[in-house]
Amino acid sequence: MTATPRMVQPISRPDSPLVDAVEPSPNIEARRRGLSPSILLLHYTGLESMAKAIDWLTREGSGVSCHYGIDMDGRITQMVAEENRAWHAGESVWAGETDINSVSIGVEIHNPGHQLGYPDFPEAQMQAVELLSRDIVARHGIRPERVLAHSDVAPARKKDPGEKFHWARLARAGIGHWVVPVPVSAAAPGSSLGVAGPQVATLQRALLRYGYGIEPTGVVDARTEAVVTAFQRHFRPQRVDGRIDDSTIATLDRLLTALPSYVT
């Protein structure tokens, strides 16, 4: 017997007491395969204003939506109930899961993005990100290593929230996984496209073990460069160039070693 699909209704009241406004999006559905949130996925809007982002995320036919939006002044808007599947991740993968929308709660943080000047994330906004993120991860039991950037799950397509985002600050507040990056050496530019060898394969396997969608080929191909770039944006933002260097390798090793479930 086939189970009756759950009726999905637009949000009517917020899930978090931190929410300032509710703007229901019609672009929703039930989470598939009985999945529940285990990832907190952070984005930037890439638009001129939060108002434009909310308009797009709540417009019927836009094909996109997100659970929350946070303006630069810290104002939090909820658009999709946490129990429902929003359409924010797109084609993406993490730890072998390809339906990231069904296992994640998405937060759009207003920032015009790399194509529109990419300003710093202001203090009021980061305070709101910190408070809302802590609330979400506590209620859903989301593990630190599953607080991710959009670029982590879609490295070939996305840059957000980018290298200016304050991941270290969130980690100090108990949100997300972070280690102090190994310093970058100007004398060691690292391996780039086309380079092959055991060091490349070792890094690819380590990235795959951490959760990134990558195949250990032993060659620095376009996918590897994109994944390394995404890793650097999140965990080694001092230099984001997609090259496999000693700093990137050592920082990834620190992260893996710091995982509670890590086995050598």
Counting Cβ atoms within 10 Å, is residue 247 exposed (0-12), middle (13-18) or buried (19+)? buried
Which of 108, 145, 163, 225 is the catalytic position?
Answer: 108
| Chain mean position to CA 178 | 14
> Is residue 225 among the annotated active site residues?
no
Catalytic residues: 108
